[in-house]
Amino acid sequence: MDVRDKTILVTGAGRGIGRSLALHFARKGANLALMDTNREGVDETRAQCAEAGVTARSYVANAADEDRVIGALDEVTADFGRLDGLVNNAGIVRDALLVKVKDGQVVGKMTLADWQAVIDVNLTGVFLCAREAAERMIRLASRGVIVNISSISRAGNIGQTNYTAAKAGVAAMTVVWAKELARYGIRVGAVAPGFIRTPMVESMKPEALARMTAPIPLGRLGEPEEIAHAVGFIFENELFSGRCLEVDGGLRM
Ligand code: NAP
C-alpha cells in the first residue's frame, strides 16, 4: 500500500512505539487517527504529526471498552471518510510470578485483577479494534491493512503469564484474520518487538534493565522507530499477510 493520503488508525498513540508509528506514517504522507487513553500524550502526538503537514486527529478512548471503540471508529470514518489501516498497538504490563516463593514460603501470586487487566487491553482490545476496523474497511471497500503488535514474550517469559497469553493470542488472531479477511482485500500482519526503549521499558530499575539487555545478541535495546519501520514494511509489501515479523536484535525467548 502506498500510504500517501490514506487514513491510518494507531491505538496507544500517546507515547512510545505508538507515537513513533504515527510519526513514521505522517512523514510518508498518511493522515492519522490517533487513539489513546492519555489525552495529553495523544494531543502531543497529533501536534507532531500535523507538523509533517498531514491531517491528524485525537480520539480519547479505552481500546478495551466496546462502546468507546465503536464510537471512536464511527467518529474516525465520519471525520476522514475512509479507513485504510489499523495498527493495534495499545498495550500494558502487570508483571508478577504465577506463584512467588521466598525462603520456602509462598509470599504472593499473580492477582486475577492483574491477569484480567492485561487480557482486557492486550487481547480483547486488539479483538475489538480489529473487528470494528475490518467491518468499516469492508463497508468502505478499502482493501486495508491491519497490523497487530505482539511481542517476543509470546513464547513464554518469566513473570508474564498474563502478557504472554495475550501476545500469543494476538499472533494467533493475526493468522485467523489474514485468512478470513483476504477475500475482502484486507491484509493482516503482526510485529513482535524485542525489548524497545520506551517509557514502558525505561520505567524499569537500572539493574533489571541491564539484566534484560545483556542477552540481546546485538547488545542494545531497540528503538521505537525500528518497530515503526517494520510495521511500515508490512503496509508496503503487498504479499505480506498472516505472519509475525520478529524485530528483536536476535534475542529469543
Ligand atoms: P507505552 O510506552 O506504555 O505506551 C502505551 C500507550 O498506550 C500509552 O500512551 C498508554 O496510555 C496507551 N494505552 C494503554 N492502555 C490503553 C488502552 N486500554 N486504550 C488505549 N490506549 C491505551 O508502551 P510501548 O512500550 O510503546 O508499547 C506499545 C506496544 O508494543 C504494546 O502493545 C506493547 O505490549 C508492545 N511491546 C513493547 C515492547 C517494549 O519493549 N517496549 C516490547 C514488545 C512489545 P496511558 O499513558 O494512559 O497508559
CB 46 within 8 A of CB 70: no
Position 203 scores a pLDDT of 79
CA–CA dist 51, 74 (Å, integer) = 26
> Could you give the C-alpha distances from 174 to 149, 159, 200, 236, in angstroms and in order?
10, 24, 24, 17
CA–CA dist 116, 213 (Å, integer) = 28
Residue 184, pLDDT > 80, answer yes
Position 72 scores a pLDDT of 98
Residue 200, pLDDT > 80, answer no
Contacts of 47 (CB under 8 A, 6+ apart): none
Residue 212, pLDDT > 90, answer no
Position 201 scores a pLDDT of 82
DSSP-derived 3-state class of residue 129: helix
Name the average pLDDT for the chain.
97
Residue 209, pLDDT > 90, answer no
Position 199 scores a pLDDT of 83
Read off the pLDDT band of 150 (50, 70, 90).
very high
Please give the full DSSP string across 26-91, using - where no structure is assigned: HHTT-EEEEEES-HHHHHHHHHHHHHTTS-EEEEE--TT-HHHHHHHHHHHHHHHS---EEEE---
Q: List residues near ligand 1 (CB under 6 A).
A: 11-12, 14-18, 35-38, 41, 62-64, 89-92, 121, 125, 149, 151, 193, 195-196, 198-201
pLDDT tens-digit readout, 155-178: 999 999 999 999 999 999 999 999
Position 15 scores a pLDDT of 97
Identify the residue whose C-alpha is closest to ligand 1 atom 7. Answer: 12
Residue 70, pLDDT > 80, answer yes
Position 147 scores a pLDDT of 99
DSSP state of 242: S
Identify the residue whose C-alpha is closest to ligand 1 atom 39. Answer: 196
Nearest ligand 1 atom, CA 152 = 43
CB 220 within 8 A of CB 188: no
Q: How many Cα atoms sit within 13 Å of 43 on the Cβ side?
A: 3
Least confident of 1-5, 81-85, 207-211: 207-211
Which residues are designated catalytic?
Answer: 163
Return the best residue to mutate from 65, 92, 170, 191 for the ligand 1 pocket (most ligand atoms within 8 A of CB): 92
- Please name which of 92, 90, 79, 70 lies closest in space to residue 10, comparing C-alpha atoms: 90
CB 8 within 8 A of CB 33: yes
CA–CA dist 211, 155 (Å, integer) = 19
CA of 12 to the centre of ligand 1 (A): 6
pLDDT tens-digit readout, 7-61: 999 999 999 999 999 999 999 999 999 999 999 999 999 999 999 999 999 999 9
Q: What percent of the chain has pLDDT over 90?
A: 94
Residue 68, pLDDT > 90, answer yes
CATH of 7-244, picked from 3.20.20.70, 3.40.50.720, 3.30.420.40, 3.40.1400.10, is 3.40.50.720
Identify the residue whose C-alpha is closest to ligand 1 atom 20. Answer: 36
Position 117 scores a pLDDT of 98
CA of 48 to the centre of ligand 1 (A): 18
CA of 16 to the centre of ligand 1 (A): 7
Nearest ligand 1 atom, CA 62 = 19
CA of 214 to the centre of ligand 1 (A): 23
Contacts of 214 (CB under 8 A, 6+ apart): none
CA–CA dist 130, 79 (Å, integer) = 19
Position 214 scores a pLDDT of 94
CA–CA dist 88, 109 (Å, integer) = 29
Q: Mean pLDDT over residues 231-253, rounded? A: 97
Read off the pLDDT band of 91 (50, 70, 90).
very high
CA of 196 to the centre of ligand 1 (A): 11
Q: Mean pLDDT over residues 133-141, rounded? A: 98
